[in-house]
Chain A
Amino acid sequence: MAISYDDVVAKYDPVFGLEVHVELNTESKMFCSCSTIFGGEPNTQTCPVCLALPGALPVVNAAAIESTIKIGLALNCQIAPRSRFARKNYFYPDMPKNFQISQYDEPICFDGYVDVEIDTDEGAKTFRIEVERVHMEEDTGKSLHVGGATGRIHGADYSLLDYNRAGIPLVEIVTKIVPGTGKYAPEVARAYVAELRDILRGLGVSDVKMEQGSLRCDANVSLKPMGSDVLGTRSETKNVNSLRSVERAIRGEMIRHAELLDAGKKVKQETRHFQEDTGLTRSGRSKEQAEDYRYFPEPDLVPVVPDAAWIEELRAALPERPSIRRKRLQEEWQVLDKEMSAMVNADLLDIVEATVLLGSDPTKARSWWLGEISRVANEQNVSVRELSITPKDVAAIVALVNSGELTDKLARAVVEGVIAGEGTPAEVVTKRGIKVVNDDGALMAAIEKVCGEQAETAEKVRSGHLPAAGALIGAVMKETKGQADAARVRELLLGHLGQATS
């Protein structure tokens, strides 16, 4: 019984809420000094504290508190003058203490918002996403369930546990429920996560790599009949690990709920898992019997009481909000919406800006990064940032082109050389012997040679048929191995054939 998305939003009003978990990029874990580096051999980044050996005690990582307060400030939150950690008690093998240290009724940041702008049928429209709370907690270890059909703990032959991740600082950012977005719910949700990601990256507090799990999103969705004030039953979809998936998961859940409701069935309050391949969700554990986590204040830690003056210092040092920055750069650079979106979507705004700050003009910087360099990155199946070319290199190449020392074509060869690790643009130019032929004498010799070889064409030009010059210019360029400035060649050629240059 398929129902179209248009039918869903004609009949139902969606309400959603998002919980985003962000792994902070602190050097050490939340409550001990173990390293947080991703990808280490299993169980090599552990100690008595994060393994929960008897007697071991947690101590709060001050850097994590600072990062969390920065996040709260960037999300327009209040910062609690005093907040506490609490224990969330439940048994699971990948959680060494069998309780998670989190924050419960006293989060460190609360009551904030993020404004996001999306394109609607009526033009660009801003939606305000209210942030209920931002709190700190610790990550669990990782379980690998071996054998069994599902890859889950039930039915597995055995399980392997890696505690390297246990205790990595996590920040959880919880929105209030977001009503009133109608058919734009999936896009608004996506725009919120994207904005959040940009804010966090701008703060430098997290790698925000959704594919590595350093930014994870859970999406709560419910539908209510159009015009109703009563919220529907919500489902909570976990494992939503890309921006596209946020949009797909919410859209998918809206359709699934609508199908159930249309068929007179009830939506079950449950946890669901998003499947990247199908874009659908599958049922996880049912939440009908709410788990009792027996929260109570963590007695091993003292309350977090940040100094008010310090908070103000952090506030004053906040970077420009990404949405505001984007507007400013677009104006400064005089680029179209479409071009701006291309840079944002390709995640190249920072790198283009850095190149511009090093003296490149915005159009050229954008065109190098988004064009040739992205193409090479694509070919090599790596991200642009992983290539060895830097904004400094690109700015240098642009300067060489501007000064006439390189042609666009030669510049591409230089870019290729820098990416191949041959050195700085200047070094590549020297090593490869790339040089614009500026010597008019040498050019004239080539022109005379070509005009002799292609006398017929030369005669056409001489008699005023200018388009024929192209073939001759091409031949001269070939003769000079592409190192000539085509404009200068044209100038000299036309002069040679008695045509005024323009």
Chain B
Amino acid sequence: MIKQSAAEMAQALAKGEVTSTSLTQAHLDRIADVDPSVKAFLHVDAEGALAQAKNIDAKRSAGEKLHPLAGIPLALKDVLAQEGVPTTAGSKILQGWKPPYDSTVVTKLKAAGLVILGKTNMDEFAMGSSTENSAYGPTFNPWDLTRTPGGSSGGSAAAVSSFEAPLAIGSDTGGSIRQPAALTGIVGVRPTYGAVSRYGLIAYSSSLDQAGPIGRTVLDTAMLHDVIAGYDPKDATSVNGAFPDVIAAARSSDVKGMKIGVIKQLQGEGYQNGVQARFDESLQVLASLGAQIVEVDCPSFEFALAAYYLIAPSECSSNLARFDAMRYGLRVGDSDGASAESVMNATRNAGFGHEVKRRIILGTYALSSGYYDAYYGSAQKIRTLIIQDYAKAFAQADVLVSPTAPTTAFKIGEKSNDPIAMYLGDVATIPVNLAGICGMSLPAGLADEDQLPVGFQIMAPAMQDHRLYQVGSALEGALVDKWGGHLISKVPALGGAK
């Protein structure tokens, strides 16, 4: 039952073949079974999940009209506030904090009747690409438990790829949904900036952050995308307009006549052979389906990583200032006679991890008087150039494509002492965030050399998220036919009993 897609589970629920309670219990059992080795969850809310499942079952038996995903379990990245449920953003500084309010994403999930199983592990404040920066220890990749699942939404990706949950919510500031989806052989989408409300999403970099859906199939991901997207008056950067029908796009699977642009700068040198091979193969598949493949030039992408590592730390240095021990979370050094300033210092010193401190310091420096123009100002100019590169490229192609990440999943500890090597892994995903557009990663197969999943990235212009699903479902359909099933069915069995 847990190996089905969310769409299949939804049908079984609708037909009364299964109850949400039994479906939820099956996933809780699976978590109990495999999470000790995967460590995808920071907090499992069995009680809350079963209560919601029971509630949905009761509504269904009373004949109430329900959302198609009502009763389907889901894993929530710990960066989203959920009322009454511990929410830490992977940081010690928020240990024990229970939000008094729901993020808009959670409000929408609850309204649609989804069952939130618990909160998933992540790099602290979403800063990282391996989930190793979590203050609560790393998450392990179900494909190879000695490797990272990527990050920062590594917990969500690992939960979905290990069948602990059919769906998950992640957040993507520089690739934090797409890269872990790629490294764990599943589908992840970063929606257009402003398409999903950021209200209640603990901010890392406000101008880049975006929550998005993770699933095992393109259709599942579209169904979840549809639940969480929409205008929210509580988020001033939320898009107030017509939202494309992503579910219809995921069912259309037609790329005949579409132009698909391959970004010259995001392939070749620096990309693992197996990654490049699967990417090229996927292009051939798309061409065979009637798409036209063109090459596009995005020269400014060379500077994307540098711009990102100025903008994101700058914003984070300000966003994380609120963690000061005054109103919530950790408080250290509050002994008799300690000043407010010394308590703030001691708390922030004890509560933030190395990578978070590194980025706060970087950002503080970049915004300093006298350095602002050289750093933050220049980074914003690069951002404009990247937007212009995309505009030119989208004039030549309906969607753009690249490998999602230059490599397959790397070993735990392999890059954790080399931040630059870690940052380079985000080279293909970051331009999407800087431009505020949307991107998807879906499985392209296993790399020959290590038999680990390779991600294929699709990018579309702002508010054209349906194009991701249209092209993604076409490619997925052809590859699934070729493989005789979804790539995720090849993930090693974990745990014991089931």
Using CB atoms and an 8 Å cutoff, list the residues of chain A in contact with chain B.
48, 51-60, 87, 89, 91, 93, 96-99, 153-154, 159, 161, 290, 292, 294-296, 299-302
Contacting residues, chain B, for A54 (C-beta < 8 A): 81, 87, 89, 94, 97, 99, 202-203, 322-323, 328
Other A-B pairs, 5, CB within 8 Å; known A55-B198, A290-B369:
A59-B235, A89-B321, A292-B369, A296-B314, A300-B198
What's the minimum C-beta distance from A16 to chain B, rounded to whole angstroms? 26
B139 proximal to A (CB < 8 A): no
On whether the beta carbons of B324 and A98 are closer than 8 Å, the reply is yes
The reply to whether A96 and B327 form a contact with Cβ atoms under 8 Å apart is yes
Question: Taking the complex as formed, is B273 at the interface, i.e. its CB lies under 8 A from any CB of chain A?
Answer: no
Given A54-B322, A302-B236, residue A294 in contact with residue B367 (CB < 8 A):
yes
In-complex Cβ contact of A89 among B202, B324, B367, B376 (8 A)? B367
Residues of B57-84 at the interface with A, using a CB-CB cut-off of 8 Å, are: 80-81
Q: Contact check: which of B81, B234, B340 meets A93 at CB < 8 Å?
A: B340
Residue of B nearest to A296 (CB): B367
Which residues of chain B are near A99, meaning CB under 8 Å? Answer: 318, 321
Shortest beta-carbon distance from A196 to chain B in Å: 30
* Contact in complex: B340, A296 (CB < 8 Å): no
* A300 CA to B208 CA, complexed, in Å: 10
For A290, what are the chain B residues with a Cβ–Cβ distance below 8 Å? 369
Residue contacts A-B, CB under 8 angstroms, 26 given: A48-B101, A53-B81, A53-B99, A53-B100, A54-B87, A54-B202, A55-B198, A55-B199, A55-B200, A55-B202, A57-B199, A59-B234, A59-B236, A89-B317, A89-B321, A97-B321, A97-B322, A153-B339, A154-B339, A292-B368, A294-B317, A294-B367, A294-B372, A296-B315, A296-B318, A296-B367
Q: CA separation between A53 and B329, bound complex, in Å?
A: 10
When each residue 104-135 of chain B gets 1 if its CB lies under 8 Å from chain A and 0 otherwise, what string results?
A: 00000000000000000000000000000000
Known: A292-B369, A299-B206, A299-B315. A57 touches B235 (CB 8 A): yes
Contacts of A161 in B (CB 8 A): 326
CA gap between A467 and B54 in the complex, in Å: 102
- If A294-B364, A296-B367 touch, whether A56 touches B200 (CB-CB below 8 Å) is yes
CA distance A154 to B340 in the complex (A): 9
Taking the closest CB of chain B, its distance from the CB of A152, in whole angstroms, is: 12
User: Given A53, A56, A302, which contacts B237 in the complex, CB threshold below 8 Å?
Assistant: A302
1/0 contact trace for B317-346 toward A, CB 8 Å? 110011110111000000000011100100
**Is B233 at the interface (CB under 8 A from chain A)?**
yes
What range describes how many residues of B lie at the interface? 35 or more
**9 closest A-B pairs by CB:** A98-B321, A299-B206, A294-B367, A299-B207, A55-B200, A54-B202, A52-B322, A55-B81, A292-B369
Residues of B contacting A48 in the complex (Cβ-Cβ under 8 angstroms): 99-101
Q: Is the CB of A51 within 8 A of B327?
A: yes
| Contact A56 B199, beta carbon cutoff 8 Å | yes
A159 vs B340: C-alpha distance in the bound complex, in angstroms?
Answer: 9
- B435 interface residue per 8 A CB criterion: no
The docked-state distance in angstroms from the alpha carbon of A153 to that of B341 is: 10
Cβ–Cβ < 8 Å partners of B89 in chain A: 54
A residues near B318, Cβ cutoff 8 Å:
87, 89, 99, 294, 296
Shortest beta-carbon distance from B337 to chain A in Å: 9
Kindly list chain A residues whose C-beta atoms are within 8 Å of the C-beta of B326: 93, 96, 161
Cβ-closest chain B residue relative to A301: B236
Contacts A51-B327, A57-B236 hold; do A294 and B322 have CB atoms under 8 A apart? no
B473 contacts A by Cβ under 8 Å: no
Contact status A294-B368, CB under 8 Å? yes
Please determine whether A96 and B202 come into contact, CB atoms closer than 8 angstroms: no
Question: Assuming the A-B contacts A53-B101, A58-B236, are A300 and B344 also in contact, with contact meaning beta carbons closer than 8 angstroms in the complex?
Answer: no
Kindly state whether residue B23 has any CB partner on chain A within 8 Å.
no
B201: Cβ under 8 A from any A Cβ: yes
Complexed CA–CA distance, A305 and B383 (Å): 22
Interchain nearest-CB distance for B461 vs A (Å): 19
Q: B residues within 8 A CB of A91? A: 321, 324, 341, 344
**Contacts of A93 on B, CB cut-off 8 Å?**
324, 326, 340
Q: Is the CB of B368 within 8 A of A300?
A: no
A296-B100 in contact given A60-B236, A98-B322, A161-B326 (Cβ < 8 Å): no
Complex: A53 Cα to B201 Cα, angstroms: 11
> Within the complex, what minimum Cβ distance (angstroms) separates B239 from chain A?
11
A437 to B376: give the CA distance in the assembly, Å.
86
Q: Which residue of A lies closest to B315 (CB)?
A: A299
In the complex, the answer to whether A55 meets B236 with C-beta atoms within 8 Å is no
Rounded to whole Å, the gap between the CB of A161 and the closest CB of chain B is 7
- Complex Cα distance A87/B367, Å? 11
Indicate if B52 sits at the interface (CB-CB under 8 A): no
Minimal Cβ-Cβ distance residue in A for B201: A55
Q: Are B235 and A53 interface neighbours, CB within 8 A?
A: no
B-side contacts of A51, CB under 8 Å: 327
Q: Mark out the residues of chain B between 220 and 239 whose CB falls within 8 Å of any chain A CB in the assembled complex.
A: 233-237
Convert B224-265 into 0s and 1s, putting 1 for each residue whose CB lies closer than 8 angstroms to a CB of A: 000000000111110000000000000000000000000000
Task: Report the separation of the CA atoms of residues A299 and B99 in the bound assembly, to the nearest whole angstrom.
Answer: 23
Alpha-carbon gap, A97 to B341, bound state (A):
15
Cβ-neighbour of A55 out of B99, B207, B233, B321 (below 8 A): B99
> Given the complex, which residues of B lie within 8 Å of A59, measured CB to CB?
233-236
Which one of B235, B314, B315, B322 has the greatest number of beta carbons of chain A within 10 Å?
B322
B152 within 8 A of A: no
Q: How far is the CA of A55 from the CA of B372 in the complex (A)?
A: 26
